[in-house]
Structure formats: C-alpha cells, structure tokens
Amino acid sequence: MSSRLPETSINCRDANALTQWWKPVLGYTDMPGDPNEPGDEECIIVAPSTGQRLLIIEVEDLQEARAESTSIASTIEQLAAGQKR
C-alpha cells in the first residue's frame, strides 16, 4: 500500500511573492478558479500532471512557526512509533 501527501506547506513572510517565484521553477499553476493575489495570506499552486499541491502560508514570526512545526512533527513520529496515545 502506498501513501501520498496531498500537499506540502511552506511558511514565509510574503506568500504571494514566494508563490510567484515557485510557479515557473516547478512548472506549477494556480488552482483552477482560485488565483493567487497580492495580499493573500495563503497561496496554493498545483502540479498539472500529478495534482501535488504546494501551500505557501504567510506568518509574522518564522521562528515561532518553525518551533510549532517541529513540535507537531515530533508528535506524529511518536504516534507512528506507538509511543504516544
């Protein structure tokens, strides 16, 4: 059995600017019917061939967001290993 992540997310200071940079690099496009606009705090782009999505989220404090992500990842790893209930 295989698994597939529906999307990958990135925290940044300017979601629209980073989205505009990544689109040509990855060959991704805006979600159909949901264009990314300047000032959007969350922008999502998609790979036309696979449907893989990249969610770019604007945050004020990158250090705080990184610490929260690390805590969540640690909890997920512990759950997967059967260490936490």
Give the per-residue pLDDT at 76. Answer: 54
Q: Is the residue at 85 inside a domain?
A: no
CATH code of 27's domain:
3.30.720.120
Q: Do residues 47 and 26 touch, judged by C-beta distance below 8 A? A: yes
Global pTM reads 0.67
Q: Does residue 57 sit within a domain?
A: yes
The DSSP line for the chain is: -----SEEEEEES-HHHHHHHHHHHHT-EEBTTB---TT-SEEEEE-TTT--EEEEEE-S-HHHHHHHHHHHHHHHHHHHTT---
> How confident is the prediction along the chain (85 residues), in pLDDT tens digits per residue?
666 777 788 888 899 999 999 999 999 999 888 889 999 999 999 999 999 999 998 888 766 655 555 554 555 565 666 655 5
Task: Identify the domain containing residue 30 by its residue range.
Answer: 7-80
